[in-house]
Chain A
Amino acid sequence: MECLIGIRGKDFVLMAGDSVAGRSVVAMKKDHDKMYQLSNRLLMAACGEGGDTVQFAEYIAKNIQLYRMRNGYDLSTKAAASFTRRNLADYLRSSTPYFVNLLIGGYDDSDGADLYYMDYLGSMVKLPFGVHGYGSFFVLSVMDRYYKEDMTRDEALVLLQRCIDEIHERFIINLNSFKVKIVDKEGIHVMKDLRPTTKPPEETPGTQSMDIV
């Protein structure tokens, strides 16, 4: 029931995740941040089984920090994503697989902005935009229609708002708040939470009736 969205722009990656942490039928926390900072210019959004997301994300984050401490420089986005994928794949056939779906967005000086899409089976692909969760059924077509290469930050935020509005319009689960972050050359910037702008449908007399007449 979670939704993660990533959009790659000209020199930045925009990442958003819904902010509902739910257990069974209850929304336990409605301002939950599903994005974890791996390093100065690397951000990972994780969704999936409750404990696995936090434990796996923290494990990866600490290992990436360790690399930095040992070697004096940060891992590139590609290397960090490969490292993460390798861990997912290695644990997949162990007795403790991690049921997490990830989006990793980062900025390198050599490759620019990159977005990697990973799932719990250990598959990874570099994408211009990626969505996890049921929200993807609604949002991918919106992205296909309106995404273009080298978007500016404002254009990407408008596209993200469109996606959130579509989810609110058609997805049965109420995801009415999204945490948003941008990764670029300067680092990770926390943006304002985004909410759907569409209003609930108004009552129009007579037209909804399905009585047999």
Chain B
Amino acid sequence: MLGKLKNANLDLLLPEPLLPPDLESYPEFHSKYINSKNTNALINLSHGTTTLAFRTSQGIIVAVDSRATSGTYIASQTVHKVLRINSHILGTMAGGAADCSYWERYLSILCIKYELENKKKITACIASKLLANIIYSYKGMGLSMGTMIIGGDGKTLDIYYVDNEGTWIKGDLFSVGSGSTFAYGVLDSEYRFDMPIEESIELGRRAIFNACFRDAASGGGVSIYNVQTSGWAYLGRFDTSDLYWNNYKK
């Protein structure tokens, strides 16, 4: 470690993470274990984004960032990562933008079809399962999606996580994307089921902000939605730089 430090440009020196003993360097670790074609790859940091949703006694808060990257290039800072499936159900986008937006749009068609055939509103459970089954049939073919289906039929309120491997799980708190670990840090520290609504909005905003701060692939702005049994409501978009300079700079 000291040998490497001798000739290093200290301006660019960043702390390196600890490596397993049999690996020489971070680039080797990266190519072997992160995002590699190697099927034993343990860490797959795809889905360059941060999205989160959590449920409290007062409803569901959904918060997402708005950056799209292709490699190291920032393609857009104003992407809409919350997709409106119907008046009661939202879907979030993480992973391939095309995959998510296409299949969630297809899902809204299926939801309309369900309502016409069954004469009742579709629940998030059924909607997410429809999506999960479609995705499962494409398993192994290169779809990249980590999405949450949030909402209900007017009586229920659920969050379901669906991803390109075919995972389908229900929960009260999820964060998806490359910045999800950073968002989890903030969320897990302050989340309680019986939070008042203002506190939960601030928590969602703060968690995405912190993820954008640390994750290169997340940023742009924080968009927040609130979902109640009566439907979803868009609460606004907060630019990340404004949040930093005006609100959160320490």
Contacts and interface: CB of A to CB of B under 8 A. Distances in A.
A23 B133 CA distance: 18
A51 B165 contact: yes
Contact of A51 (B166, B170, B180): B166
Interface centre among A28, A32, A55, A96 (most CB of B within 10 A): A28
B184 A50 contact: no
B43 interface: yes
A24 B33 CA distance: 11
A181 B136 CA distance: 29
Main secondary structure of the interface of B (DSSP, over half): mixed
Contacts of B135: 51
B161 A51 contact: no
B174 interface: yes
Given A29-B171, A50-B165, A50-B167, A96 B139 contact: yes
A169 interface: no
Contacts of B170: 29
Interface in B170-191: 170-171, 174, 180-181, 184
Interface in B135-182: 135-136, 139-140, 161, 163, 165-171, 174, 180-181
A26 B180 contact: yes
Contacts of B132: 51, 54
A51 B139 contact: yes
A151 interface: no
A51 B184 contact: no
B44 interface: yes
Contacts of A52: 166
Q: B interface, how many residues as a size bin?
A: 20 to 34
A28 B166 contact: no
A25 interface: yes
A25 B43 contact: yes
Contacts of A29: 161, 169-171
A28 B163 CA distance: 12
B42 interface: yes
A23 B163 CA distance: 10
A24 B44 contact: yes
A50 B42 contact: no
Contact of A24 (B43, B133, B169): B43
Given A51-B132, A51-B136, A28 B165 contact: no
Given A24-B42, A28-B169, A29-B169, A55 B174 contact: no
Contact of B171 (A23, A28, A50, A55): A28
A96 B166 CA distance: 13
A159 interface: no
A155 interface: no
3 nearest A-B residue pairs (beta carbon): A51-B166, A50-B167, A50-B165
Given A51-B136, A55-B136, 15 more contacts: A21-B169, A23-B167, A24-B45, A25-B181, A26-B180, A49-B166, A50-B165, A50-B166, A51-B139, A51-B165, A54-B166, A54-B168, A55-B133, A55-B166, A96-B140
17 contacts: A23-B163, A23-B165, A23-B167, A24-B42, A24-B45, A26-B184, A28-B161, A29-B161, A29-B170, A32-B169, A50-B163, A50-B165, A51-B167, A54-B168, A55-B133, A55-B166, A96-B139
